[in-house]
Each structure stands twice: as structure tokens, then as C-alpha cells.
């Protein structure tokens, strides 16, 4: 009987040693996961700071792009307007010269009223200028409305990005709460292992099952964290694409200026 009790005691001692080893491994996993989580939090904070700075640069680049596009359009419109006025004036003057030549050939004794011709040409020029100005103002208004709509779309995309970042922050906070809950479970398991010697084999098996549940919970938390990191990287890729598009516009505008 004593030998049997001794064997049981030795078995419990071995089981206790094994459970303590598994507990240490679980603790190491928790600490490693905690360290990685804190690193990810630091990276996220740094990325958010970079995002704020980059957003300012994007906003500035966007406004510069709008201003440069407006200047380019204005200069092009002015060139087109002057070209149209010049061509119209040239055609009108050619017509007046032709008409004058005909009159001179038909009646050389008739005195030409050059002041009247000049006044008529000036009136025609002013009429063309007024009509071209009205058309230019209408075109300016249309372009302004289009640029305003584009700016609104950009603001909408930026608000959507901010919303996605807020959602990621909420998910990370939820994961942090889950980790704290796992830590509490680990503390409870430590207390249960201390009592395993008194409760016998059933208590040891129950503790092993709980350790398995803890490992599953840790694995799930790690999987969720990896998914959050991927989503965050996708968001950064979207922002990078916006930066590249802005830079492309800027180079195009600089090329047109030269």
C-alpha cells in the first residue's frame, strides 16, 4: 500500500514538473506576444504620426496642383482669346480694305471717310472682345465647378481613410482587452496548478485542458493581430498610391510650365 502511494506521489510529482514546464512555456509565449504587440503599437503610433505629416504634404500638393492647373488653364484661355481676337480683327480689316478698293475703282472722285471706317472697325473689335469675354467667363465657371467637385471627392476619400484608421484603433483596443483576459486566465491556472497535488489526477487533467484552451486563445489573438497588421499595411499602400498620383500631377504641371 505504501509503495502504491509512493508511486502515485512520484507520478503526481512528475506531472507537476511537466505542468510547470508547460506553464513556463505558456508564460514565455505570453511575454513574447506582449512584446510583439507593444512593438506593433509603437509602429502604429509612428505610422499615424507619419500619416499626419504626409496628409499635410498631400493637402499642400493638392492645393498647389489646383492653383497650377488654374494658372495653366487661364494662360491657355488668354492665348486662345488673343488668337481669336487677332484673327477676327485681321479678317475684318482685310474685308474693309477689299471693300475700300472696290469703291475706289468704281468712283475715284468719291472722298473716303477713313474716320468712319476706323470707328466701324473699332466697334466690331469691341463687340468681338465682349462676346469672347463672356464665353471665357462661362468656361472659367465650368472649370471652377469641375475642380470644386474633384476637391470634394478628395476630401471624401480622406474622410474614408480616417474612418478606417479609427476602426483599426478600435480593433486593436479589443485585442488588448483579450490579452488582459488571457493574462487573468493564466494567473488562475497558476493557482489551480498549486492545488493540483491535493485534488489528484482529475484536477491535473482539468488544468491541462485549461492550458490547452489558453494556448488556443493565444493563437487566436496572434492570428487576429496578424490580420490587423495586414489591413493596416493595405491602408498604407492606398496612401502611397495617392502620394504617387499627386507627384505625377506635379511633374506634369512642371513639364507644361517648361
* Tens of pLDDT, residues 51-84: 778 778 777 777 877 777 777 777 777 767 777 7
The domain total for the chain is 1
Contacts of 201 (CB under 8 A, 6+ apart): 12, 15
Which domain range does residue 207 map to?
2-257
Calpha distance 206→212 (Å, rounded) = 10
Q: Which own/partner contact pairs does 46-49 have at CB distance under 8 Å and 24+ positions apart?
A: 47/232, 47/236, 48/165
For residue 5, the Cα-to-chain-centroid distance in whole angstroms is 69
State the first-to-last Cα distance of the chain, in angstroms, to the nearest integer. 102
111-142: per-residue pLDDT in tens? 445 556 556 656 665 666 566 556 656 665 67
Q: Note whether 218 and 45 are within 8 A (CB).
A: no
Amino acid at each position: 500500500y505504501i509503495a502504491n502511494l509512493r508511486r502515485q506521489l512520484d507520478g503526481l510529482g512528475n506531472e507537476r514538473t511537466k505542468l510547470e514546464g508547460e506553464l513556463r512555456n505558456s508564460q514565455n509565449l505570453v511575454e513574447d506576444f506582449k512584446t510583439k504587440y507593444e512593438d506593433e503599437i509603437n509602429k502604429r503610433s509612428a505610422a499615424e504620426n507619419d500619416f499626419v505629416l504626409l496628409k499635410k504634404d498631400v493637402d499642400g500638393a493638392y492645393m498647389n496642383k489646383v492653383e497650377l492647373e488654374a494658372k495653366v488653364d487661364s494662360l491657355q484661355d488668354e492665348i486662345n482669346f488673343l488668337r481669336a481676337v487677332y484673327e477676327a480683327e485681321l479678317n475684318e480689316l482685310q474685308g474693309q480694305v477689299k471693300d475700300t478698293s472696290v469703291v475706289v475703282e468704281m468712283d475715284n472722285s468719291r472722298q473716303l471717310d477713313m474716320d468712319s471706317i476706323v470707328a466701324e472697325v473699332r466697334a466690331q473689335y469691341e463687340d468681338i472682345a465682349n462676346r469672347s469675354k463672356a464665353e471665357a467667363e462661362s468656361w472659367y465657371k465650368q472649370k471652377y465647378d469641375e475642380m470644386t467637385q474633384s476637391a470634394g471627392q478628395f476630401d471624401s476619400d480622406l474622410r474614408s481613410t480616417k474612418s478606417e484608421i479609427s476602426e483599426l484603433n478600435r480593433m486593436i483596443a479589443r485585442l488588448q482587452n483579450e490579452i488582459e483576459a488571457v493574462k487573468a486566465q493564466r494567473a488562475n491556472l497558476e493557482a489551480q496548478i498549486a492545488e493540483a497535488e491535493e485534488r489528484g489526477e482529475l484536477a491535473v487533467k482539468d488544468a491541462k485542458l485549461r492550458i490547452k484552451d489558453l494556448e488556443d486563445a493565444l493563437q487566436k489573438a496572434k492570428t487576429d493581430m496578424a490580420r490587423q497588421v495586414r489591413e493596416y499595411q493595405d491602408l498604407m499602400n492606398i496612401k502611397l498610391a495617392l502620394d504617387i498620383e499627386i507627384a505625377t500631377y506635379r511633374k506634369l504641371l512642371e513639364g507644361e510650365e517648361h
